[in-house]
Amino acid sequence: MTAVESELRSIGELARASGLTVSALRFYDRSGVLAPARVDPVTGYRWYTEEQVDPARLVAGLRRVGMPLAGIAEALRNRHRPAEVHRLLDAHLRRLEDGLADARRELSRIRSLIDPEEIIVTTRLVLSRTDLAAAVDAVRFAVGADPGLPVLSGVLVEVEPDGVRLVATDRHRLAVARVGGTVDGPPVSALLPVAAVDELRALLDLDGADTAEVVVATDRVTVTVAGRPLTAVPLPYDFPDYRRLLRAQLGDVPTYRIPFDGAALRAALTADGVPVCHRAHEGVEHEVVALGLDGRGELRLVDPNGVVAAGGVE
């Protein structure tokens, strides 16, 4: 052993100190994530510095929680920038939570296939009537109308631990809205036919109650407002995995939630003098309106040059 090598850790020593296996360290070297400080030109043996122990431990921890290779590499590059690493960890945690929720829903569906006579578990929610109405308005436009794609002819009602998510898509547009509320029961989802969604929207216009009670089961959804119930039978289709679509489109790109008033947005879009842009798509020119954020981070209509227009959305 040379004098230089005596000051370095062998690959076996780093493996013991970090919790990574020797084969994992070789893999991360080949991947360019954690290269050794020195490689013996004759034997190919890898040597590491003492300063590489903590990065190796970071890699081991991220590996244990299933962080993708690209995420591990980015975390290692930014390990001296805690805010960036925390952002990566938060994004990965959201993926894990989404995956767990997906698995629970799929296992529930599988159980019903194995034992159709199994007792149906229901989940009860108490939601703001006006918030639920706004969520329906936010997704209704994206419901598909192609008779060849009946799976898209409804709105997905997806119960979460602290509320419900509504999702609709016609393949070209995807709309997602969320309503927080009180939830009693396990996660469950149902695909409401568009006719039932429209009846629900009319029901939510009833005065006399601030809340809507929703009971979601695999075979029915019942919404009660001001003592008047509406029961709908879900469509017998598996809705597309919209989360996977969003992840494929966004990857690890940071995303931001921008709350806004749906009624104000509709009023602004239908008012006289709405600024119109012209954009070409696949050789066809379309008239479109543009939305943007003002200096306070609030959603506004903008003109074709990106200047905030009057009649914005509060």
CA distance 46 to 26: 9
215 vs 245 pLDDT, higher one = 215
Tokens 């590059």, located at residue: 77
pLDDT digits (tens, 9 = 90+) for 217-229: 878 899 999 889 9
Of 293, 179, 191, nearest in space to 235 by CA: 191
The tokens of 255 are what? Answer: 């995303």
pLDDT digits (tens, 9 = 90+) for 240-268: 888 776 665 555 555 555 666 666 777 77
The tokens of 41 are what? Answer: 């030109």
Amino acid in position 238: D
pLDDT digits (tens, 9 = 90+) for 274-307: 777 777 765 677 777 777 766 666 777 777 555 4
Please report the sign of the dihedral spanned by the C-alpha atoms of residue 113, residue 114, residue 116, residue 119: negative
Give the contacts of 92 (CB within 8 A, at least 6 positions apart): 65, 66, 67, 71
> How open is the CA angle 31-36-42, to the nearest 5 degrees?
105
Supply the DSSP symbol for 213.
E
163 in Cβ contact with 179 (< 8 Å): yes
